[in-house]
Amino acid sequence: MTFKKDVKLGLLIIIAGIVILLGKLGVFGFLGRSLWPLAILIPGLLLHALYFSRRGQSILLIPGGILTVWGLLFGICNIWGWGLMSHLWPALILGIAVGLYEYYIYESPRSSMALWVSIILGLLSIVLILLSLMQTGVLYLVSILLIAVGLWLILRRKSSTKSKW
């Protein structure tokens, strides 16, 4: 063996030893537990990059939007705790709405079905997020709303009967 080959082999063995040592110390496990949402976020961003670099069709924006929103959601939950998922689970539906809306914006000719489905899913997810954030407060809101509608019906009825007389 020549000196250059010995150096290359020596560096390869040192790198293998460092990788094994870091693995035993839990560095790769920590990175895997911490950064796994990037495995969802990065493909979503790459699909967007493919479309915007004119190398892909607009249909790529549907999975791109879904994966991007889901990657962000899982990243948020991974950082601040998975208890947030009990309130933010409707963002899974929002990801589908975002993907469909992006497809609608950039597809030619535009598909009105994609627009309406994205609007319905988006509104549904926003309402569900608000309801899950309010939890028991929703009952108070509904009861106040019912009282207000009842009072409005009663007062409107009395004012309309006075004007007829």
Q: Is the overall model pTM greater than 0.85, yes or no?
A: no
- Is the per-residue pLDDT at 1 higher than 70? no
Q: What is the mean pLDDT of residues 33-62?
A: 91
Question: pLDDT over 90 for what percent of the chain?
Answer: 45
Span 34-56, mean pLDDT? 91
Other beta carbons within 10 Å of 35: 12
More confidently predicted of 49 and 143: 49
Angle between helices 137-164 and 112-134 (to 10 degrees): 110
pLDDT tens, position by position, 75-127: 999 988 988 898 889 999 999 999 999 999 998 888 889 999 999 999 999 99
Residue type, 65: G
Residue 72 has pLDDT above 90, yes or no: yes
